[in-house]
């Protein structure tokens, strides 16, 4: 048995079909600026009001991968949680996230392979009830047993 699993981690032995977890986060100007700094993606559609106002978005938007990072946060912190290894992720961006938007991010278990410790999760981010990101994650879940 692994005694050092963090509280809140859901082991493969306890994951069930349809299980879900979510978070809500207000995306701030500071978040966008920090993401630009860390990622080195300084596209002015994210950082410059004058430039962004003349784009199809008619204003600044958050980086798509910042929004996708919220999916990673739910998976890495809640379902399955600490000790999870990302194997793959598909993403489809359906709409912009703007500074000040509250993003509701939810992941739901759609497939489980206990023998291989693999879990497939449906991933959705919404702003005001409208989907802005959808995708599917495949992860390796932690286990209470040694391999």
Domain regions of the chain by residue span: 12-140
55-79 residues labelled b (16+ CB within 10 A) or e (exposed): eeeeebbbbbebbbbbbbebbbbbb
Q: What is the pLDDT of residue 145?
A: 81
pLDDT at 93: 98
The mean of the pLDDT values for the chain is 94
Q: State the pLDDT at residue 5.
A: 55
Q: What 3-state DSSP class applies to 53?
A: helix
Q: What is the pTM of this model?
A: 0.92
Query: Distance between terminal CA atoms of the chain?
Result: 11
* Region 12-140: CATH code: 3.10.129.10
**Amino acid 1: pLDDT:** 38
Q: What pLDDT, on a 0 to 100 scale, did the predictor assign at position 68? A: 98
Average pLDDT for 105-130: 98
Query: Average pLDDT, stretch 124-141?
Result: 98
Q: How confident is the model at residue 147 (pLDDT cuts 50, 70, 90)?
A: very low
**Confidence band of 4 (pLDDT split at 50, 70, 90):** low
pLDDT tens digits, 35-63: 999 999 999 999 999 999 999 999 999 99
Q: In the structure encoding, which two tokens stand for residue 37, read together?
A: 């700094």
pLDDT at 6: 58
């Amino acid at each position: 048995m692994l005694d050092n699993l963090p509280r809140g981690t859901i082991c493969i032995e306890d994951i069930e079909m349809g299980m879900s977890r979510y978070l809500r986060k207000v995306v701030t100007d500071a978040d966008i600026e920090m993401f630009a700094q860390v990622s080195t993606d300084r596209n002015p559609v994210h950082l410059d009001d004058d430039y962004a106002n003349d784009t199809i978005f008619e204003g600044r938007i958050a980086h798509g991968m910042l929004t996708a990072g919220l999916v990673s946060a739910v998976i890495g912190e809640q379902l399955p949680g600490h000790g999870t290894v990302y194997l793959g992720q598909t993403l489809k961006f359906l709409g912009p996230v703007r500074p000040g938007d509250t993003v509701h991010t939810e992941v739901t278990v759609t497939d489980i392979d206990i023998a291989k410790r693999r879990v497939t999760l449906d991933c959705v981010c919404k702003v005001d009830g409208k989907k802005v990101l959808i995708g599917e994650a495949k992860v390796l879940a932690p286990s209470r047993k040694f391999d």
